[in-house]
Amino acid sequence: MKRRSRASAGNRAAVARLRKLGELVYEQIERGEYPIVRIPDRSVGNIIYDEKLGQYILGPKRFVRTTKNVKHLRAFAQLMWLAYFSKLLSSSHKTSTLRDVFYSAQAYNVEFEDQDESDERITELEALLGMAREEFNVYPEERSSIFGRLTIEYNIPGYEGRKLDLTSHPDGVMIGPALTTADFVETDAEMVIAIEKGGLFTRFIEEKVHDRFKAVLINTAGQAPRATRYLLRRLRNELNLPVYVLTDGDPWGMHIAMVIISGSANAAHLTQLNVPDASWIGVWATDITKYKLPFDKLTDVDIKRLRELSSDPRYSGDPWSSQIDAFLKHRRKSEQEAFAKYGLTYIVDKYLPDKLGR
């Protein structure tokens, strides 16, 4: 039985960095200067692929937003308000959605044209602080869920010290702010399996995959939200558990696995949201023929997507490039549910042990 703990430093670290940002601006004003901020440049020209990390990162370029330029004033003020509001959220242990932030600005007479504008400014704040917005308490809507052999201990107000065994509720529990910031206090799990779809997640629980494979199961519900990717990284790093990703056998499923492994180009300013050594265990293009799965023909959109992926440096190694070739050769795609052709438990009794080498 392992036992690990993690101080929930997230909020404190965010408050410290936000305070530092404020000090920087104050200092400039006190020196009689027009305050400026230097924001990491997220434009395509500054996104580079880091082979060692196996992910996209930002290069060294920064752009200067200065209050000397009247055209910058609006965005500068918006950014300062966002930093203020984020500090308020973090220090009062409240969370907010992107949409809430957009409307909250109106309480302060801070203008955003639309939510795209407030989202963009939040992303700049992420880049400036080097922190995901979840760390300063701006969360997406919950969508993913978790079940398995792990006990957590909460850090949110009113729940400090309370624990939950993640096998307590056999439909799974939501991955929201409380779960994301909880400590991992006890587990005998030997792996994490992230699953693209709720139907299969439920099947895995019914067939006791968590017991048979000593596993923590995560339903990503499609493309894994960032809070879920952050949680997967914590499970990997703090508990030293291998992470396996099981998706539909098509370019979209393949990319769900890739984003868990190497992050997304959109979030190249953040390097804490991926699990570089996670494994995509299927459904592979070669599994579709090997297991004689029911399939649909690839559409033109699927094929276009495969060609895009094949020019992405993250897809140059194995199994990626050979699976892209196999998809293009056979022109077939299969869903996870296709294994039901062999009975509802076949995927658990046969396919999963095959892929995990057990």
Nearest distance, CB of residue 343 and its own copies, angstroms = 6
351 given a catalytic annotation: no
Closer CB to its own copies, 1 or 107, in the complex: 107
DSSP string of 43-66, one letter each residue:
SGGGEEEETTTTEEEE-S-EEEEE
Q: Exposure string (b/e) for 54-64, b if CB count within 10 Å is 16 or more?
A: bbbbbeeeeee
229 close to 259: Cβ distance less than 8 angstroms: yes
Closer CB to its own copies, 20 or 208, in the complex: 208
**Angstrom distance (rounded) from CA 9 to CA 336:** 38
Closer CB to its own copies, 222 or 276, in the complex: 222
Nearest distance, CB of residue 143 and its own copies, angstroms = 7
Nearest distance, CB of residue 171 and its own copies, angstroms = 3
Token pair for residue 154? 């909460």
Q: Which of 234, 239, 247 is nearest to 190 (CA)?
A: 239
By CB atoms closer than 10 A (0-12, 13-18, 19+), residue 71 is exposed
Closer CB to its own copies, 168 or 266, in the complex: 168
Cis ω for the linkage preceding 283 (within 30 of 0): yes
Nearest distance, CB of residue 173 and its own copies, angstroms = 5
The one-character DSSP state at 2 is: B
**Angstrom distance (rounded) from CA 197 to CA 220:** 7
Nearest distance, CB of residue 61 and its own copies, angstroms = 34
Closer CB to its own copies, 187 or 202, in the complex: 202
Token pair for residue 299? 């559409």
Task: Tell me whether residue 211 is annotated as binding.
Answer: no
**Angstrom distance (rounded) from CA 49 to CA 68:** 34
Q: Which of 26, 34, 103, 108 is catalytic?
A: 103
Task: Tell me whether residue 120 is annotated as binding.
Answer: no
**Angstrom distance (rounded) from CA 103 to CA 120:** 15
Nearest distance, CB of residue 154 and its own copies, angstroms = 7
Alpha helices in the chain (DSSP H): 10-30, 70-91, 98-107, 115-129, 177-180, 198-206, 209-212, 226-239, 251-262, 285-290, 300-310, 320-330, 346, 352-356
Beta strand pairing call for 173-174 and 145-148: antiparallel
Tell me the CB-side half-sphere exposure of residue 54, using CA atoms within 13 A: 15
Q: Which residues bind its own copies (CB under 8 A)?
A: 94-97, 99-100, 102-104, 106-107, 139, 141-143, 145, 154, 156, 158-159, 164, 168-179, 197-199, 201-203, 206, 208, 219, 294, 335, 337-344
Residues comprising the binding site for Mg(2+)? 196, 248
Residues comprising the binding site? 196, 248
Known catalytic residues? 103
